[in-house]
Amino acid sequence: MRFLPPVLIPAIFLASCGGGSPTETAKKELKAVTEAPAAPAGSGVVAGKITFTGAKPVMRTVSMDATPACARMHKEPPKSEEVVIGADGSLANVFVWVKSGLPAQKWPVPAGKVTVDQNGCVYKPHVVGLVTGQDIEFLNSDETNHNIHPLPRTNREWNESQPPKGDPKVKQFTQEELMIPVKCNVHPWMKLYVNVVPHPFFAVSGADGSFEIKGLPAGDYTVEAVHERYGPQEIKVKVDATGTAKADFAYKG
Ligand SMILES: [Cu+2]
């Protein structure tokens, strides 16, 4: 038999007695314990493109010579991913989220996990978003030891090593916080940014600079873009029940 947490027992007992307000209260309690609140059925979208319009910065080349297991994974030494700009000025790795305007409710934590791989001694992807309390899984696909070390301002700091091809590490971040830097104590060039928000309405711009946030209820929203070097920007948008609102951001550098 499945173990029932103690908090459920009085609720079930009262519910089985029938009649009267205590039963209704008990039913509510039972629902609160067993069901996550449903997300509103929204089908609005915010979509856009992030561009970089300033003088293109030159990214340093990362030398992995100190760790041959890392260096041999790359045909050519990779460039720092601090600023990734495409030929057409697209800016990748920008975290975009709905900063305000959503209905006041607790959003369910997605059952799926966000996966970050350490592959070629590079965090893949370089920027991730997750919902407060959602699982984030760290893999080590490399034949070398890594040391995962988030440096949050409000979440708990931790620092754990992971052996070559070691077991996945599953963690959670319990507080809302943007652009948490994660470093590797073994390989100083490794950098990941974790963004933790209280709802699922976020995206990260791709190599083509585009992003899309789906499933929004109709409303007036403030959408914020955050880049690790160039910081935050905001745009206000009006989303219709089934429409797509445009939110294009431009960084000048
Ligand atoms: Cu490492």
> What is the 135 CA–ligand 1 centroid distance (Å)?
21
Average pLDDT of every residue of the chain: 88
- Same domain assignment for residues 143 and 87: yes
Same structural domain for residues 27 and 51?
no
| Nearest CA-CA partner of 235 in 97, 124, 128 | 97
Between strands 191-197 and 231-239, the pairing is unpaired
**Residues 20 and 60 placed together within one structural domain of the fold:** no
User: Could you tell me the two tokens for 171?
Assistant: 């963690």
What letters, b where the CB count within 10 A reaches 16 and e where it falls short, cover 159-180? eeebeeeeeebebbbeeebbbb
Residues 103 and 29 both lie in one domain: no
Alpha helices in the chain (DSSP H): 8-17, 20-34, 68-71
21 lies in the same domain as 141:
no
Does 244 lie in the same domain as 201?
Answer: yes
31 shares its domain with 50: no
End-to-end CA distance of the chain: 60
pLDDT of residue 40: 52
What is the tally of structural domains in the chain? 2
Domain with 179, as residue range(s), is 44-251
Please choose, from the candidates 49, 98, 97, the residue with its C-alpha nearest in 3D space to the C-alpha of residue 210.
49
163 pLDDT more than 50? yes
Domain CATH code at residue 173: 2.60.40.420
What is residue 3's predicted lDDT score, i.e. its pLDDT? 42
* Statement to judge: residues 240 and 128 lie in one domain: yes
Q: How far is the CA of 142 from the centre of ligand 1 (A)?
A: 9
Give tens-digit pLDDT for 95-148. Answer: 999 999 999 889 999 999 999 999 999 999 999 999 999 999 999 999 999 999
Q: How far is the CA of 177 from the centre of ligand 1 (A)?
A: 23
